[in-house]
């Protein structure tokens, strides 16, 4: 039998890093000690009190049954409390909060709730790939909003053609941003709310890095802006805040009609997040937040070591105020992929080529600060020996 996949799978973008992955495996196999700045997956463990809470919750047989579709009441109450305390935003836990099996799950599913075949979705570029692939799986088409340095890596809404804006159904934004590490202020969110109102566009703000900030900077919520709850929702994740990427726990909050439609999709696809994990999630969000400040302190230190080193070897990167990424310019006369390959072949350093996140990411590579300080210092030593 020939297995013929559906058109929607054929429409997914090709995986750009095949050659780079092959090269990494080859370099590794040859015995080189690889320093991997590639994947954005925290190397630090989940804080002990959260692990302890999970152990206790697993011992309670009531957690072993099917969870409720929209999430445990206690977890949704906890999210509403956290929002009030952290952002000063009031949420109705029964209609304005939904639990997700990691925020990626919700981001991938939201287009199924609103996008008809051929509908336009506004997607930043470069960006987290799921905004575009979720759009494609729903039969939609992405209109890419370039994130350029000259605009502080914010989309320039004035550059979106009138006919695109008036036909767009959904818009994704993400601040603090992966991969550029840019941040957005409330003024930008106000512009987004006005734009969305004018054109009837549902805004989906991905705030996965809202708690990962440096130098005293405190990222705002999209929902802090007047009118935001009329036009959109915000996605959150426990993955990056509490080093819980493997646990799969996130949530979406905001406009109740949007949350309800996302819930309708989800109730037909999944059966919710494991209750024991939600119980541990409550302990994470309500417990002592010193673990978060300590994590930020560690990333901040790593950031400073890497930036100082990059500067010394003549590579140019802006100092991130948030996220664990460094978005680094590459030397003239080379491409992101070529430069990543050079770092891998000549120094055993893995980075992600910026164009893999979208064409406007060409000219950059991304370092994830998920590598201990000593290894970053070692990487800098290796870079010193290279000629750019
Ligand atoms: C890591 C990441 C997520 C996904 O997090 P999960 O909750 O683990 O699914 C979402 N958005 C961005 C921008 C990310 O970098």
Q: Calculate how far, in angstroms, residue 307's C-alpha sits from the geometric centre of ligand 1.
A: 24
- What is the pTM (predicted TM-score) of this model? 0.97
pLDDT tens track for 277-305: 999 999 999 999 999 999 999 999 999 99
Rounded to 10 degrees, what is the CA torsion of 361, 362, 368, 369?
-100
pLDDT tens track for 359-379: 999 999 999 999 999 999 999
Q: Calculate how far, in angstroms, residue 69's C-alpha sits from the geometric centre of ligand 1.
A: 21
Domains of the chain with bracketed CATH: 7-45+290-384 (3.90.1150.10), 48-286 (3.40.640.10)
pLDDT tens track for 85-110: 999 999 999 999 999 999 999 999 99
Q: Calculate how far, in angstroms, residue 379's C-alpha sits from the geometric centre of ligand 1.
A: 26
Nearest to 52 by CA among 222, 291, 234: 291
Task: Assign 285 to helix, strand or coil.
Answer: helix
Ligand 1 pocket mutation pick from 206, 233, 252 by most atoms within 8 angstroms of CB: 206
* Two structure tokens written together for 78: 């906890």
CA–CA gap between residue 252 and residue 265 (Å, rounded): 14
Which residues, judged by CB distance below 6 Å to any ligand atom, belong to the binding site of ligand 1?
A: 40, 102-104, 128, 174, 178, 206, 208, 237, 239-240, 245, 250
């Amino acid at each position: 039998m020939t297995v013929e996949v559906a058109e929607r799978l054929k429409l997914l973008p090709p995986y750009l890093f095949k050659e780079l992955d092959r090269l990494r495996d080859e370099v590794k196999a040859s015995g080189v000690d690889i320093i991997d700045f590639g994947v954005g997956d925290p190397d630090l463990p989940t804080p002990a009190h959260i692990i302890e809470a999970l152990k206790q919750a697993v011992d309670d047989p009531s957690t072993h049954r099917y969870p409720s579709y929209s999430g445990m009441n206690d977890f949704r109450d906890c999210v509403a409390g956290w929002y009030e305390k952290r952002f000063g935003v009031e949420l109705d836990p029964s209609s304005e909060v939904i639990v997700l099996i990691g925020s990626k799950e919700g981001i991938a599913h939201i287009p199924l709730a609103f996008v008809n075949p051929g509908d336009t979705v506004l997607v930043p570029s470069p960006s987290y790939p799921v905004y575009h692939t979720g759009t494609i799986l729903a039969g939609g088409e992405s209109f890419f909003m370039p994130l350029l340095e000259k605009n502080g890596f914010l989309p320039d809404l004035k550059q979106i053609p009138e006919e695109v804006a008036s036909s767009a159904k959904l818009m994704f934004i993400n601040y603090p941003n992966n991969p550029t590490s840019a941040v957005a202020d409330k003024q930008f969110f106000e512009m987004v709310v006005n734009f969305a109102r004018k054109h009837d566009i549902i805004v989906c703000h991905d705030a996965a890095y809202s708690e990962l900030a440096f130098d005293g900077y405190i990222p705002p919520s999209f929902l802090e802006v007047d009118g935001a709850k009329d036009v959109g929702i915000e996605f959150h994740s426990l993955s990056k805040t509490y080093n819980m990427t493997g646990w799969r726990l996130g949530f979406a909050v905001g406009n109740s009609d949007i949350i309800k439609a996302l819930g309708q999709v989800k109730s037909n696809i999944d059966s919710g997040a494991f209750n024991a994990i939600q119980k541990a999630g409550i302990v994470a969000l309500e417990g002592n937040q010193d673990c978060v400040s300590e994590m930020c302190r560690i990333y901040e230190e790593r950031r400073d070591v890497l930036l100082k080193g990059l500067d010394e070897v003549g590579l140019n990167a802006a100092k991130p105020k948030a996220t664990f990424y460094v978005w680094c310019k590459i030397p003239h006369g080379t491409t992101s992929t070529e430069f990543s390959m050079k770092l891998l072949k000549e120094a055993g350093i893995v980075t992600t080529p910026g164009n893999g996140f979208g064409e406007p990411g060409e000219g950059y590579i991304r370092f994830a600060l998920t590598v201990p300080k000593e290894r970053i210092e070692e990487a800098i030593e290796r870079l010193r020996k290279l000629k750019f």
